[in-house]
Amino acid sequence: MNVKNFLQLPITKDFTVVAGRNGLHKPVQNVEILDFEFSPDIETVRETIFTPNSVILSSLLFAKQHPDYLLHAVKSLIQLDASALAYKPVIYNDLPEEVLALANAHQFPILRFGGDEFFEKIILETMAYAKTQDYTFFLETIMKRLIQEEMSDEQITSFLQQLNKPFEKYVFVANIHMQSVKNTQWMQPFLQLELLLKTGLICKYKNSILIIVTNPSQHFHFENFLHEWLTMYNISTDQLTMGYSQVHVTQTALHLAVREAFFARIMAEIDMTTRCHYEQLGSASLLIELHRKDPHFAINYVNSYLRPLLDEKVDTDLLKTAITYIAKKGNIKEVAVAHFCHPNTIRYRMTKIRQLVAPLDNDYVFYERLSAAVKLYLLHSKIADE
């Protein structure tokens, strides 16, 4: 959590930044109250008045008759590595220019309350947010390890114990993404369902949602269940891309289920479809494993084969056409529709692409090699953009 996140809490949404705007990136680990600590008339009872990385709340009552106390207080807070000072405008509506100048010079945010917000409520909301963010980070870290690393049975058991949730014998996973939206607001309805899930969990992973459901039967119709569940809670799937794992044993292959759902969703986006089941990927699963286990080799292959199309001097329409050509399984008419042009234009582009990358290959070899290179290129690009 940082000062910018602090300002996005419901209770602080009306706060204004009066100085130190360039310091909003500073981390926030605590919220404390400043009463009379910087009044010369009060003996300091603590050697360290405030802990570092704290937002300090104050009504500035200690400086009621002495505006000069404010400069000393801000200097001290900067030296103590406080994250920000937030004041209630009951004594001072505007602070002295020298105080604002000092804060700006040290990129120390000074915030003004928007109204009559209670200190205690601000502290409670901030700590609740921080706790939620910590749990979100914890879950995302586990998901990252499940997707990227090979897991032993002991490691999976440890993860399940840390999650402290009930899990049945078989696990089913869906990975969901909304490509057209850059913010994460679309995720909230899914995350709110997490409390209703008895045996599994729902969490954020980068720019997507992972829905992990377990069941005592390996014949559980997970996709039907998920569709009915989302319909029941009025969550539309119209703009979503979804990837589904195969069924796996929870205690030994949780990582495979999570990984399969993630890559199935990536491949759905590559193939320009809305749904993809890992078990239907065929040879594309080999490309996924190649990229996972030897990304350096995979990218070298892509750069070697597609170099003529990746050259900035070459018409960018050629690479875009090659990508759509593979996504549409070589159907010229469908590629033409996708690019809003005549099929002959696509035929001309494909002839030019072939001359650039593989003039000696026959039709079958050309399509096979172009397909592998394009899918590896998109696989790398999409994972890098996650």
Instruction: Report the CATH number that the domain containing residue 377 is assigned in CATH.
Output: 1.10.10.2840
Residue 75, C-beta contacts closer than 8 angstroms, at least 6 positions apart: 102
Q: Both tokens of residue 286?
A: 């080999």
Residue 353 near residue 322, CB atoms below 8 Å: yes
Q: What phi and psi values does residue 222 have, to the nearest 5 degrees? A: -65, -45
Burial (CB < 10 A; 0-12, 13-18, 19+), residue 83, is buried
Q: Would the pLDDT of 308 be above 70?
A: yes
Domain boundary among 225, 258, 280: 280
Pairing between β-strand 275-277 and β-strand 30-34 as defined by DSSP bridges:
unpaired
Domain boundary among 280, 307, 331: 280
* Enclosing H/E stretch for 86: strand 84-87
Same domain, 17 and 105: yes
Same domain, 205 and 262: yes
pLDDT tens across 312-338, in order?
A: 777 789 999 999 999 999 999 999 999
What is the predicted pLDDT for the residue at 168? 95
Residue 265 near residue 208, CB atoms below 8 Å: yes
pLDDT tens across 184-222, in order?
A: 789 989 988 888 888 899 999 989 999 999 999 999 999
What is the predicted pLDDT for the residue at 42? 53
Residue 295 lies in a domain: yes
Residue 219 lies in a domain: yes
Residues of the chain with pLDDT > 90, as a percent, come to 62
Confidence grade of residue 46 (pLDDT, cut at 50, 70, 90): very low
Same domain, 170 and 204: yes
Residue 285 lies in a domain: no
Same domain, 242 and 179: yes
Domain boundary among 250, 280, 310: 280
CATH number of 188's domain: 3.30.70
Burial (CB < 10 A; 0-12, 13-18, 19+), residue 285, is middle
Same domain, 67 and 106: yes
Residue 122 lies in a domain: no
Residue 325 lies in a domain: yes
Confidence grade of residue 45 (pLDDT, cut at 50, 70, 90): very low
Domain that holds residue 211: 129-280
DSSP secondary structure string for all residues of 14-34: T-EEEE-GGGTTSB--EEEEE
pLDDT tens across 103-131, in order?
A: 999 999 999 999 888 998 999 888 888 77
What is the predicted pLDDT for the residue at 350? 94
Same domain, 262 and 298: no
What is the predicted pLDDT for the residue at 49? 67
What is the predicted pLDDT for the residue at 47? 45
What is the predicted pLDDT for the residue at 29? 84
What average pLDDT score do residues 66-84 get? 91
Same domain, 103 and 12: yes
Same domain, 89 and 139: no
Same domain, 83 and 182: no
pLDDT tens across 252-287, in order?
A: 999 999 999 999 999 999 988 999 999 999 889 999
Same domain, 229 and 305: no
Strands (E) in 123-281, as ranges, are 170-177, 200-205, 208-215, 241-244, 248-249, 275-277
- Residue among 256, 270, 300, 132 at smallest CA distance from 203: 132
What average pLDDT score do residues 351-372 get? 92
Domain count along the chain: 3
Residue 107 lies in a domain: yes
Q: Would the pLDDT of 48 be above 60?
A: no
Residue 123 lies in a domain: no
Same domain, 232 and 306: no
User: Sign (positive/negative) of CA torsion 373, 378, 380, 381?
Assistant: positive
- Residue bearing the bigger pLDDT, 134 or 187: 187
Pairing between β-strand 54-58 and β-strand 30-34 as defined by DSSP bridges:
parallel
What is the predicted pLDDT for the residue at 43? 52
Kindly report the pTM of this predicted structure.
0.69
Same domain, 305 and 276: no
Residues of the chain with pLDDT > 70, as a percent, come to 97
* Enclosing H/E stretch for 42: none
Confidence grade of residue 39 (pLDDT, cut at 50, 70, 90): low
The three-class DSSP label of residue 357 is helix
Q: What phi and psi values does residue 7 have, to the nearest 5 degrees? A: -75, -10
Residue 43 lies in a domain: yes
Q: What phi and psi values does residue 173 have, to the nearest 5 degrees? A: -130, 140
Residue 3 near residue 24, CB atoms below 8 Å: yes
Q: Would the pLDDT of 102 be above 90?
A: yes
Q: Return mean pLDDT, the chain.
A: 90
The three-class DSSP label of residue 331 is coil
